[in-house]
Amino acid sequence: MRGKRERLLREMYAAMHARLGPSGWWPGETPLEVCVGAVLTQNTAWTNVTKAILRLRDAGVLASGQALLSLPEADMSELIRPAGFFRLKAVRLRNLLRFLDDACGFDFSVLAGQELDYLRPRLLNVSGIGPETADSVLLYAVGLPTFVVDAYTRRILHRHAMVPDDIPYHELRDVFMDVLEPDVPLYNEFHALLVRVAAQWCRARAPRCADCPLCPFLDGGGA
């Protein structure tokens, strides 16, 4: 029965929102920047990504997709070095930029008019773009209603005994999308709240369950 899971997810959302308020969170100033961040943040912390983005901004190459594309790969690697896996990510970012260039010429409103089920597989077909990166681009840069799942999401739901630890990406995504109506602001805010809870309370080591907004939903946490 999944009416129970639906109620639980909505209550968790409400609890986080009540404690933390609206996040107003967007992982970048522009859609282009969101795409850059989506690649750079693969398997790395946001603090590192921020440094890399700043370096790109200061170098003036973040102004347009063309500027980024015309940057030699060696220069790109060096600029994004703080984000880690920098040679790999320079290639992956280039792949994504090339895709965006010929899919829409960096006019993201064109992509916003396309079907999620059409665009998502195409994005996943780009080498270096996996499900999380694709969903992050689709939700935050394009504005299509796909739920972004990450290690934080997995950890929080697993610790609340809602999913197995090794649940595949698409199944975890379905946990949300099977139950939540397609709603970009809702998906945006839900993900943002999970990220904030994971960072401040549901940390990988030394979690602070006692005063976590999701404490009431813990096994034996009352309610």
Partner DNA sequence: ATCCGGGGAT
Partner DNA sequence: ATCCCAGGAT
CB 187 within 8 A of CB 175: no
Considering the complex, state which of residue 32 and residue 133 has its C-beta at the smaller distance from DNA: 133
Considering the complex, state which of residue 11 and residue 85 has its C-beta at the smaller distance from DNA: 85
Contacts of 215 by beta carbon, 8 Å cutoff, 6+ apart: 209, 221
Q: Quick one: angle between helices 184-200 and 3-20, nearest 10? A: 70
Q: Is 207 left (phi over 0), alpha (psi -120 to 50) or beta?
A: beta
Binding site for DNA (CB under 7 A): 41-45, 47-48, 51, 81-88, 126-134, 150-152, 155, 169, 198, 204-206
Furthest C-alpha separation in the chain: 57
In the complex, the smallest distance separating the C-beta of residue 74 from DNA, rounded to whole angstroms, is 12
In the complex, the smallest distance separating the C-beta of residue 7 from DNA, rounded to whole angstroms, is 27
In the complex, the smallest distance separating the C-beta of residue 145 from DNA, rounded to whole angstroms, is 18
Considering the complex, state which of residue 66 and residue 125 has its C-beta at the smaller distance from DNA: 125
In the complex, the smallest distance separating the C-beta of residue 159 from DNA, rounded to whole angstroms, is 12
Considering the complex, state which of residue 90 and residue 104 has its C-beta at the smaller distance from DNA: 90
Considering the complex, state which of residue 11 and residue 167 has its C-beta at the smaller distance from DNA: 167
In the complex, the smallest distance separating the C-beta of residue 98 from DNA, rounded to whole angstroms, is 14
In the complex, the smallest distance separating the C-beta of residue 87 from DNA, rounded to whole angstroms, is 3
Considering the complex, state which of residue 19 and residue 87 has its C-beta at the smaller distance from DNA: 87
CB 199 within 8 A of CB 153: no
Own/partner contacts of 201-207, CB < 8 Å, gap of 24 or more, are 202/152, 202/155, 202/156, 202/159, 204/155, 207/159
